[in-house]
Amino acid sequence: MKGYLVLESGEVYAGLWQGGENRAGEVVFNTSHSGYEEIATDPSYFTQIVVMTAPMQGNYGVEDEVWESNRLWIEGFICLEIQDTERDQAWKKRLTENKIPLLTEIDTRNLVLRLRQGGTPWGALVQASSETDARQKADALIAEKKKMDKDWVYLASRKTAETRRGDNMVGPRVAVLDFGSKENILRELQQRCSEIRIFNSRSTVQEIMDYNPDGIMLTNGPGDPADVKMAAGTIRELIGVKPIFGICMGHQVLGLALGAKTYKLKFGHRGSNHPIRDTLLNQIYMSSQNHGYAVEASSLPADAKVTHTNLNDGTVAGFYSEKNKYLGIQYHPESCPGPHEASGLFSFFIERMI
């Protein structure tokens, strides 16, 4: 069966339709060689069609224990080849059973070059009888998708508070502001804390302070930080009151709360092989990343020192204030998928900031 990826900018890519339903979303690429389950279940990929640069996907099947949430968040999955043999069709079945469109036998190298050179576009994956038919279906899907609420963080955030017991009975209590959190952020905290309580992204200062946490975690999440409602104002009132650690979207919203500016990257950083210079841990390491926006270094306040730098393009990968006890990290120190060298930042937060 023939399927198409149609970009809003006009390009059309034909491939083999492996199943799922027609869907629209932002088209992004990921350079990870493994971790397709963690990527697909990461709420940060809400509304996104993911193009994998590694040619073969689904090689090692599926394992529910590695999921980063309880559902698939992507709007589509594109790769050169998918494991589809008598031995193993598990990943293909998992996608199509959840109605996630799957397109293979597409020139992913050419497509990724387009995304790098032209930036991140909206697009749609459709099953169609012709390119003309595909364009008509895609235009309607993209137009409808764009009508959704722009506060994607709120759409991905849990709506009721949740309390989890930690593994360290003498550890601190941490309030987690859920912007679309990956499970491994919560696991890393639970290992070090006596208890964590997870709040909706639009929770008030009073709701958080009534819990009386020792520190606050701002999690990852999808979308444009400028479209996130309430959270920057809430965080602004908590700066200097409680130690704060922001990851990915949390880092960006923390920046906005400080009065800094954010901007959209041309094609974003998504993959498990992004080099970082970390002056807090005094290391250079590879990191897992998934974001489309960055914080403008020159707009940060005087007490915020840029402590982490993306060595690919020099963008701000982290900032820290010893005076007001806040830390923002643009990438994923919790990994999953990806390298674990940055996990020490969780210990830095618990042991040196709280």
In the prediction, which pLDDT does 336 show? 87
Active-site residue identified among 26, 68, 75, 248:
248
Helix count (H) and strand count (E) of the chain? 10, 19
pTM score of the predicted model: 0.96
User: For 101-151, what is each residue's pLDDT tens digit?
Assistant: 999 999 999 999 999 999 999 999 999 999 999 999 999 999 999 999 999
Architecture of domain 152-353 in this structure: 3-Layer(aba) Sandwich (3.40)
Q: 58 and 67 in contact (C-beta within 8 Å)? A: no
Give the residue from 310, 327, 318, 319 showing the smallest Cα distance to 268.
310
Residue 248 is among the residues annotated as catalytic for this protein: yes
Strand pairing of 195-200 and 305-310? unpaired
- Listed by start position, the domains of the chain span 2-145, 152-353
From 251, 274, 308, 332, active-site residue: 332
Identify the CATH assignment for 2-145 out of 3.60.10.10, 3.40.50.10300, 3.40.50.150, 3.50.30.20. 3.50.30.20
Is residue 334 annotated as part of the catalytic site, yes or no?
A: yes
Average the pLDDT over 278-294 and give the result.
Answer: 96
Choice between 195 and 340, residue whose per-residue pLDDT is larger: 195
Query: Is 15 labelled as part of a ligand binding site?
Result: no
Q: Say what the pLDDT of residue 141 is.
A: 98
Across the chain, mean pLDDT equals 97
For residue 341, give the 3-state DSSP assignment.
helix
Provide the Cα torsion 39, 233, 293, 295; round to 10°: -130
Q: Is 250 annotated as a binding residue?
A: no
Tokens standing for residue 253: 């919203």
Q: Which of 183, 195, 334, 336 is catalytic?
A: 334
Summarize pLDDT for 152-182 with one digit per residue, the tens: 999 999 999 999 999 999 999 999 999 999 9
